[in-house]
Amino acid sequence: MKNIGSVKEDLNTEKRISITPELVKKYINLGFVINLEKNYAEHLNINDEDYKKNGANIYSSKEEVFHKSDIILKVNFLTETESNLIKSKSIFIAQFDTNLNKNITSKASKQDINFFSLNLLPRITRAQSMDVLSSQANLAGYKAVLESFSKFEKVIPMMMTAAGTIPATKVLVIGAGVAGLQAIATAKRMGAIVFATDVRTASKEQVESLGGKFLMVEGHENLETEGGYAKETSEDFKKKQEDLLSDTLKKIDIVICTALIPGKKAPLIIKEKMIDNMQRGSLIYDLAAIQGGNSALTEIDKIVDRNGVKIIGDRNILNKLPISASNLYAKNLFNFVLNLYDKENKKININLEDEIIKKTLIK
């Protein structure tokens, strides 16, 4: 299995790529052959010559790439058409939700295809260089703050002028995972007063280390899984959290929502009545939009105006940072392939005793 292929994503929904020109050389140095679809990264101002001079093969169609390749690397899952093109006994690696793609995985599994979802990587030290959720969430948290501030109609830091003082913007970050922590850090650097809330008690110290104020429900219960993710809350906790949020939101200017539960619908945290009590001119940026949203009024790829409060829900915020996101994603993928590669025997080895391989393999 020495032929690695990658094809263009649907540019209407995804602008990231899985292989950058500089990584072609690294793959080739390991003994792999790289096959790419024509105009693979043209939308990022990277032309085919950049790939060719590093040793990649360029083919005019998806069909040729799939036919020539034993390992397929993508950002998103196979489309229905692509699932009919992938070869038997090949390997497919991407970032995808297994629950949303069961029909294709079950059909293709009959052809003995090994699917690896990078969304299932275990939270262990050895997997950090492959952790696409963290690398992409980090960028998402940063960009969410910039997008929010660009649409907010007041200055962010406190300004003392001869004409009077303008108070600093108050920002609330819901969810203090990787995206949330980066949002806190970015908003703080730009002069905002930052508050944050999360169901995991361990987040308090991290939030405060970045200069944010952690909002904690009285009688707080730790809702963190062994893998470091958030889990669902009890009804009693939800009620206490709702009361705290209702009071807080009345004086908040910008809310950044980042709360997600892996493989499930995003938790509904900001109810309609809470939004109705927010100040006119305030703004909610919902990073959880594609999974249902943390806000009751979030609509994908729309800006909803509710009595002067704007609710923004981009489908894929990483499309606004596609070059940076691609560079990190492609490196994560390379490190994952490297972990599959047996250097001594110079071949791919699906070693199920390796926790990383075992946890990410779909069968």
Active site residues: 123, 128, 131, 134, 229
Per DSSP, what are the bridge partners of residue 123? none
The CA distance from 212 to 215, in Å, is 9
Q: Could you tell me if residue 315 is left (phi over 0), alpha (psi between -120 and 50 degrees) or otherwise beta?
A: alpha
The CA distance from 28 to 136, in Å, is 26
- Return the C-alpha torsion angle 75, 76, 81, 84, nearest 10: 80
The CA distance from 117 to 363, in Å, is 11
Please say whether the beta carbons of 214 and 204 come within 8 A.
Answer: yes
The CA distance from 197 to 194, in Å, is 10
The CA distance from 288 to 260, in Å, is 7
- Residue 8 CA, chain-centre distance (Å), reads 19
The C-alpha angle with vertex 7 and arms to 335 and 73, in degrees rounded to 5, equals 25
Q: Which two tokens stand for residue 3?
A: 């032929």
Q: Which of 269, 306, 310, 313 is nearest to 287 (CA)?
A: 313
Per DSSP, what are the bridge partners of residue 36? 6, 58
**What are the two backbone dihedrals, phi and then psi, of residue 72, each rounded to the nearest 5 degrees?**
-110, 125
